[in-house]
Amino acid sequence: MISNRRLLLVLVAVLGTAGALVGAPAASAAAPDRPTAVVALGDSAAAGDGAGDYVPGTRGEDGNWCHRSPHAYVHRTGLAVESVNLACSGAQAADVGFGTSTHYTEGSQAQRLVAVAREHRVTTVVLQVGANDEPELTGTGIACIRAFLDPREPPCRETLGPQVPARMAAVAPRVETAVGDVREAMRRAGYRDDDYAFVLASYASPVSELMVPLAGARGCPYSRADAAWGRMVLFPALSDALRGVAERTGVRFLDLDRATEGYEACTRTPWTQEWQRRITVDAEALVHGGLDAVGYHLAQESFHPTAAAHGAMGRCLGAFVQTNAPSGACVVGADGRLGVEGGARTPSPA
């Protein structure tokens, strides 16, 4: 006969094995012994292209031109002990999601997020992507510059304007897929959906019709009418498309459409006060393909937020995350500072 002691040991062993088979509850992914982190995914706007001082390894080494800047807004939120930037200049939604695509030598951002989330206690994930998909903002900008340089070319607002609704309708499902893959990445790392804040961000318009005189010769070679179309039609349409994605997927939405309003390229004297870079290469070479490889990647910085802009947007993102609002906007106030519009701050614990 089996003694009571031996029987007890056998039962413990069996129950332990059964627990392992069905998957006993693991330690919380938000365990306090891990360093907190805020993570950014997406394209150049999140990577910090235009903000300068790019991190070694993303400045063209071995073909990596991700242009991640230490000044990027993810490093300025104050939301966590550490900040991790997985965004890469030129990335599309497919480069964020799971899959086999590579961009500038790097694979899936979502796959790398899994590893980051296992090593840290991720409190916030921000995703900014879509501009390089169907809206193709770089190509749109080049078309506007071409129209300015060549009077035979029709204004870009006339050639591209009618395409805006269809382009926005096409980009939305791509971003939705990326959002789903980011959610899945966090789940694979052991997080519940309510363990962290997930923010989808839109884009700040880099242009405005309110330019200084002779702006075309000062780094903004496009017409005031086309600039007005970009500021008042194109970028708001992209924001609306991304807002719809956020609502359908249940993530929070931060509208950055007006985040650099009054500080756009060619709107300030001196230019160092601007929050958007002017064109960084010869406009003729950009339009007609006269740039060498280095010049092409230098052109990436054109019409992107500066380090000062990233600092302001990072603080605004941090303030937004601390509210309980599903959506909000970063807007320049009367005092010239960027702040959150909409949403109420979450009460502090008693």
Read off the pTM. Answer: 0.90
Instruction: Give 172's contacts (C-beta < 8 A, 6+ positions apart).
Output: 241, 242, 244, 245
103 DSSP β-pair partners: 106
Q: Tell me: the pLDDT tens digits for 52-111?
A: 999 999 999 999 999 999 999 999 999 999 999 999 999 999 999 999 989 999 999 999
Evaluated on CA atoms 19, 20, 21, 23, the torsion sign reads: positive
DSSP 234: I
Q: Kindly compute the dihedral angle of the four CA atoms of residues 174, 177, 179, 180, in this order, to the nearest 10 degrees.
A: 170
- Cα(104)–Cα(66) distance, rounded to whole angstroms? 7
Q: Tell me: the pLDDT tens digits for 108-129?
A: 999 999 999 999 999 999 999 9
The pLDDT value given to residue 324: 85
The pLDDT value given to residue 342: 83
**Tokens, residue 213:** 């005189």
Instruction: Give 187's contacts (C-beta < 8 A, 6+ positions apart).
Output: 193
- Cα(340)–Cα(344) distance, rounded to whole angstroms? 10
Question: Is a pLDDT exceeding 50 seen at residue 13?
Answer: no
Terminal alpha carbon distance of the chain: 60
Q: Phi, psi at residue 128, to the nearest 5°? A: -135, 100
Which residue is it, tokens 């129209």? Answer: 147
- Cα(247)–Cα(279) distance, rounded to whole angstroms? 35
* Structural domains of the chain sorted by starting position, each given as residue range(s) with its CATH number in brackets: 29-336 (3.40.50.1110)
CB atoms under 10 Å from CB of 177, counted, come to 18
DSSP-derived 3-state class of residue 201: strand
Q: Which one, of 41, 101, 90, lies nearest residue 67 by Cα?
A: 90
Crossing angle (nearest 10°) for helices 235-249 and 164-188: 40
DSSP-derived 3-state class of residue 263: coil
C-beta of residue 199 within 8 angstroms of C-beta of residue 127:
yes
The pLDDT value given to residue 343: 58
Burial of 297-332, coded b for 16+ CB within 10 Å and e otherwise, reads: bebbbbbbbbbbbbbbbbbbbbbbbbbebebbbbbb
**Tokens, residue 343:** 């949403």
Q: ∠ CA(189), CA(192), CA(194), 5° rounding?
A: 135
- Cα(264)–Cα(277) distance, rounded to whole angstroms? 8
Question: Is a pLDDT exceeding 70 seen at residue 150?
Answer: yes
How far, in Å, are 19, 42, 74, 175, 228 from residue 128 at the CA level? 40, 5, 11, 9, 23
Q: Tell me: the pLDDT tens digits for 265-304?
A: 999 999 999 999 999 999 999 999 889 888 999 999 999 9
Binned at pLDDT 50, 70 and 90, residue 31 comes out as low
